[in-house]
Amino acid sequence: MAGSPNYGGFIYDGDGSATPESGPNGSAVAEKVFEDFFERQNFVTLPTAFGECYHSARDNITNLNNQALDEMSDSFAHSVLTFAQTTSSVNGTEKGSIIPTSNFEYKGSNLQE
């Protein structure tokens, strides 16, 4: 769904605000990380994730939306960076910030050929 032709900011309901049950420990924080990121990026969030190709034989690499893939991969990278800085928020202590505090500055690749 990250590169779906009918993409939107689909966020699973971790806190149980839109479904009868909440997710496991840390799910509410994970939901909030994505909600806040999408809001800062002015992405539209939608309540459902189904389209005509969803989980069908046509749901493959030939029907990618490159803009969707770009935007959604940014949200994935943001969430990984956020949770890489602390495990407390997903361990149930809720002490972790949903905003990364790192001042990481990319200085290019250090890979040797």
Q: Is the pLDDT of residue 91 over 70?
A: no
Q: Which residues are paired to 45 by β-bridges?
A: 9
Q: Is residue 100 part of a domain?
A: no
Q: Is the pLDDT of residue 14 over 80?
A: yes
Q: Is residue 58 part of a domain?
A: yes
pLDDT at 90: 61
Task: Give one word for 16, left, alpha or beta, with left for phi > 0 and alpha for psi -120 to 50.
Answer: left
Q: Is the pLDDT of residue 2 over 70?
A: yes
pLDDT digits (tens, 9 = 90+) for 49-77: 556 777 778 777 888 888 888 888 888 88
Q: Is the pLDDT of residue 109 over 70?
A: no
Q: Is residue 110 part of a domain?
A: no
| pTM listed for this prediction | 0.64
Burial profile 12-25: b = 16 or more Cβ within 10 angstroms, e = fewer: ebbeeeeeeeeeee
Q: Give me the domain span that covers residue 50.
A: 9-84
